[in-house]
Chain A
C-alpha cells in the first residue's frame, strides 16, 4: 500500500512541479475573467430589476442578490475580508432591517398615484446615461486598456506608460506582508487609522441613540427611562410630616402601588 502510494506520488511529482509555474498566472486570469463576466451581469441585472420591480419586497430581494454578486467580485479583487463583511453586514444585517420595515409597514404594494412631474422619468434616464458615460470616461477610462490587467503584466519598466496605459499593481505584496488580507487590514486599522476607527464607535452610539429617540411613541422624554426605576424614584421622597415606623410603611405601599401601576400600563399596551 505504502509502496503503491509512494510510486503514485513519485509519478505525480514531476506533474506537480511542472504544472503550477506555467499555469498559475493564466488560470488565475481565466478564472477572474469568468467570475467577472458572470457576476457583473448578475449584479447589473439585479440592480436594474430592483429599480424596475413594482413590489418593494421584490426590490429588497434583488438588492440582496446584488450584494452577493458584489461580495464575489470583492473576493476576486483580493479583498477577502470585505467580501465576508459585505455578506454579513449588508446582505445579513442591513437587508434584514429593510425587510423588517417593509413587512412592518405593510407597503408591499406600490400604489401609483398622480402628481408626477411631467417628463421626470425620461429626464432621469437621460441624466443617468450621461452620468454613466461621464464616470466611465473620467474614472475608468485610463485603466481600460489590456496593460492595466492585475496582477501587473511583466513588461519592462516604462513600457506601460509609454503605451498610454496605467499599470495595475495588484495586492499580492500587501496581502502577504502581514500574513493575509485580514491581518494587514487589522494592522492598518489599529495603527494609521486608529483615530477614525475610534470615532466610528462614537458614530455608532449616536446612530443607536438617534434611532431610539426617533422610534419612541410619546413625546415625553421620561418615557425613555426604565419604568421600574422611575417608580422607585417617585416613591422615595417621603413627606416631612411622617415619623418613625410610619415612614417605612408609606414607602413600601408607594412602591407597591407604582409597581402595580407600571404592570397595568404594560398590560394595556
Chain B
C-alpha cells in the first residue's frame, strides 16, 4: 500500500501528453491555451515530485517561478486572443491564416 515516486512522474507525463494532443486537435484558441496551461501544470507536478525524490526544496522554488511565468503568459495571451477576436470575429485558430501561402 505505497506509491512509488515514479507514479507521480507517470501521471505528469500523461497530463502533458493529453495537453499536447489537445493543442494539436482542438481549434478554439482559448481551449488550445487551456491545454498549454495543463502542460505547464504537469511540468510543475514533475518538478515537485523530483523535489521530493532529491530531498531538497529547489524544485518547489522552480515550480513557484513557473507559476508566476504562467500567470504573466496568461495575461498577454488572453489579450492577444481578445485582439484577434476583434479583428476576425472568431476564436478559431484556422481563421488566423494571413501568413498562409
Contact = CB atoms under 8 A, between A and B. Distances in A.
B55 A210 contact: no
Scoring B52, B56, B72, B91 by chain A CB atoms within 10 A of each residue's CB, the highest score goes to B52
Scoring A36, A63, A113, A214 by chain B CB atoms within 10 A of each residue's CB, the highest score goes to A214
A116 B55 CA distance: 47
Nearest to B55: A169
B35 A82 contact: no
A239 interface: no
A7 B43 CA distance: 54
Interface of A: 26, 29-30, 32-33, 36, 40, 43-44, 47-48, 50-51, 56, 59-60, 63, 66-67, 70, 73-74, 77-79, 81-82, 85-86, 89-90, 93-94, 97-98, 101-102, 104-105, 107, 110, 113, 115-116, 120-121, 123-125, 127-129, 131-132, 135-136, 139-150, 166, 168-171, 173-175, 181, 184-185, 188-189, 192-193, 196, 200, 203-204, 206-208, 210-211, 214-215
24 contacts: A50-B34, A59-B34, A82-B63, A82-B64, A82-B67, A94-B37, A107-B85, A107-B91, A128-B20, A132-B16, A136-B10, A136-B14, A140-B10, A143-B6, A144-B4, A146-B4, A148-B53, A149-B4, A171-B57, A175-B57, A184-B57, A207-B71, A207-B75, A211-B79
